[in-house]
Amino acid sequence: MTSPSHLTLEEHSMTLQRVNMFVESEPFRTASGVINGLIQEELKQLGAEVTPFYKHRLGRADMLMPVATADRARQLQGRPPADLAIFCDQGLWIRPPGPAVAKQSLVVFHGLIGGQNLWLDNPAVNQYCAYSRYMREVLVSLLTMPDMRRRKCLDPQGFYKVSDFAAGLPCVADSKGDERMLGAELPEQIVRSIEAGDVVGHALQPRKPDWYAVLNILVHLNLMSREEGGPRYRLVVDAEDFALIDYSFGHGFPLDMTGPRSLLEALGMTVGDLLIPVRFLSQPALFQFFKLAKFGLSYNVYPEPFGFYPLESVFHGCPVYTNGIGNNRHNVPPEHGVRVIESVDMAFGDPSAFQEVARAIIGDVRSREGVTRDCARGREYVLRHFGREAFSRTWRACLARLEQPLPEPEPFESLRVLRSPIVRQIDAETGRVVSDFERLTLEPRELGMLREAEGQPIGEVLRGLGEADTDLLQGLFSRAVLTLRPRGYDVGL
């Protein structure tokens, strides 16, 4: 069995006359809005009449007293069902899928934050779409969560309902990005800092970074550089994130800054000495900055569904160092500008473990040949895989799948046990698991069961297990350590 995105529109076609779109972000206002805008343009090119509905909260007053939401529901109630309704994950809160809305429903996932109970185990959803293979496989695992006692998956056909398409990046279409994505100009403070000899990097994904990791890396960079008489290392961050960090340093919460504070005091520096806050930058300003920056950090707590910033950074010649959370460990091949540097000790909070990242960055800053070559490879990869043509071809393949009957589910007992796509590392000695869901430590019995189960048909694994061991095995699936896949399924990660 191949992965869902391998079908083409030429193999199966469908006619769409009316399409309703329920999405949170307006076209080209945000990264999610880029995808929403491209989908809308593509549907119109196919001849469909597209009616979009944006924002599940219609203004500040409507958050407390949803008069506008009620009026929108009134308007929707008077419309005949469309041929297709497309929802983003947060757009599901605008109006849930169902036959009164459209004959078929498709959910596009910019993330997994919105409307989880409106898409999980919902027969009204005909297809689930993501724009990375990582998200595709996470969705499959969630939709097919197994029940060991009942010998059944949450949705036995969930293996066949998820497809993926290629995101279209504005930097591929235009070297200056998309002018519809508004933002601030590049602050003069950044340019002055670079001209003064500082090595400047970025951690610009708002509300996503693991600040414990990021600040430990930054402090270690400065400790190592100072020991050798080198330059100061600074980091450009989102202004709201800076305010949170600065407050936490001063008050001790909501973030625990005890470790980074002591190291910073040893350096005789303040938060403002190392961090440069900026407002959301326009694409020309962002791309200009990426050309000036020497490194990017994507040590995040948020499992990245796709990763616009890392790819745009590499595209403009700035390497990115990451713990590999979410799609960050899959978005480009190795030696293409995104370096995954993570150990179990880092993930479990050992501050000294982050010295490894600092050493790698300092080495690459001093000798640019390797990262220049890697970023050039990354740029070529982005050009080949994330242009408008690739988006159009793969998105139309997703639409074509709506016309195809779903295969009969494979018998539960023959499904094979695999490590979950959410798992990044497992320490075979200690049982420590680093995952996009949680950090946990497996007991010896669980670790032994995991070793015996991986790669085996679940029926073989369950044979002869008593209730206690069956429940122990269930726990490995319920905590997203293991997952199931049909025979021959192409995971593609």
476 and 358 share a domain? no
Collapsing DSSP to helix, strand or coil, 4 comes out as helix
Read off the pLDDT of residues 361-395 as tens digits, 9 standing for 90 and up. 999 999 999 999 999 999 999 999 999 999 999 99
For the residues 1-16, what does the mean pLDDT come to?
46
> Total structural domains in the chain?
3
pLDDT in tens, 30-88: 999 999 999 999 999 999 999 999 999 998 899 899 999 999 999 888 889 999 999 99
CATH number at residue 332: 3.40.50.2000
113 and 218 share one domain:
no
DSSP letter for 457, please.
B
Q: What is the mean pLDDT of the chain?
A: 94
Task: Encode 332-371: b = buried (16+ Cβ within 10 Å), e = exposed.
Answer: beeebbbbbbbbbebbeeebebbbbbbebbbebbeeeeeb
> In the structure, what pLDDT confidence band is assigned to residue 9 with cuts at 50, 70 and 90?
very low
Share of the chain above pLDDT 70, in %: 97
Last residue of a domain, one of 377, 401, 425: 401
Lowest-confidence segment of 12-21, 79-88, 299-308 by average pLDDT: 12-21
Residues 446 and 320 in one domain: no
Least confident of 9-13, 105-109, 286-290, 315-319: 9-13
The pTM of the full predicted model, rounded to 2 decimals, is 0.94
Task: Report the DSSP pairing between strands 199-203 and 295-298.
Answer: parallel
Please state the φ and ψ torsions of residue 157, each to the nearest 5 degrees: -95, 5
Is residue 220 located within the same domain as residue 120? Answer: no
Residue with tokens 């308007």: 75
Residue 84 is part of which domain span? 4-168+395-401
Same domain (yes/no): 253, 125:
no
Domain presence at residue 41: yes
For the four alpha carbons of 471, 476, 480 and 485, in that order, the dihedral sign comes to negative
Residue 153 shares a structural domain with residue 27: yes
User: Same domain for 142 and 218?
Assistant: no
The whole-number pLDDT of residue 264 equals 86
Over residues 212-221, the mean pLDDT reads: 95
Residue with tokens 């459209």: 102
Confidence band (pLDDT; 50, 70, 90) for 14? low
